[in-house]
Amino acid sequence: MEQQNFKSHKVWDLPTRLFHWTNVLCIIGLIAAGTVILWAKSLGMGNDGKILMKTVHVYIGYVFAVNLTFRLIWAFKGNIFARWGSFLPFGKGYAGKLKSFMTSEKSDQPQYYLGHNPLARMAVTTIFFALTTMAVTGLVLAGTDIYFPPFGAMIQEWVAAAGVNPADVMPYVKDNVDPVAYAEMRSFRSLFLNVHYWTYFIILGLIVIHIAAVVRTEIKSGGGIISAMFTGKKILPRDPEDI
């Protein structure tokens, strides 16, 4: 039997850990508010209630977007495990590393990684793409629906009726809007709404897969994946592949 010498390794820096847990809280809040908005009609919610929930959703979305933007920038500035090269599924030898990792998963000698393993790199990249898509489409929808920044003023100017101060265009009030311009805006909005809607379900699926994969890895191989997002350290029984 192979001797196991457990060693503690510093992996996730503090900014990366703060991003992760802030992102978790934001996603929980966004899912909760988004689900209420999605079922507003069935819940008998009036326009005032919809505007309130959408306002809450947007404010959480701002935190989410700023946090995500910070993480994308930190991928240039953080330690080696926080950087693009450690989680994008590209680079020299990546295909071979993925094949080797998948083979090891079928054996009793799993490979250990300080950063993301080759399979997880694909998952993380997919998650970041979905989160970015959600943030971008959400900011557009915030402007086209309840006229919030960064695009709200532009949309109000687009749909305002002749002689009406764009700032007087209010959510769910059509008295001050030009019907033709409003219809054009809603048509423009529909693509972003559809992408936002379906990405919502994609992210729900990715969350389930992510949690299941982390729990499976923790049970099968150990390594302190969960605790590492609190302490920043992984405790591994063998030398990792990515040192």
Cα separation, 108 vs 238, in Å, equals 13
Residue 138, classified by CB atoms within 10 Å of its CB into exposed (0-12), middle (13-18) or buried (19+), is buried
What's the whole-model pTM score? 0.92
Residues in contact with 154: Cβ distance below 8 Å, sequence separation at least 6, in sequence order: 143
Domain spans of the chain, in order of start? 7-231
Torsion of CA 22, 232, 72, 239, to 10 degrees: -150
CATH number of the domain located at residue range(s) 7-231 in this protein: 1.20.950.20
> pLDDT tens digits for the chain (243 residues)?
455 678 899 999 999 999 999 999 999 999 999 999 999 989 999 999 999 999 999 999 999 999 999 999 999 999 999 999 999 998 889 999 999 999 998 887 888 999 999 999 999 999 999 999 999 999 999 999 999 999 999 999 999 999 999 999 999 998 899 999 999 999 999 999 999 999 999 999 999 999 999 998 888 877 788 999 999 999 888 888 887
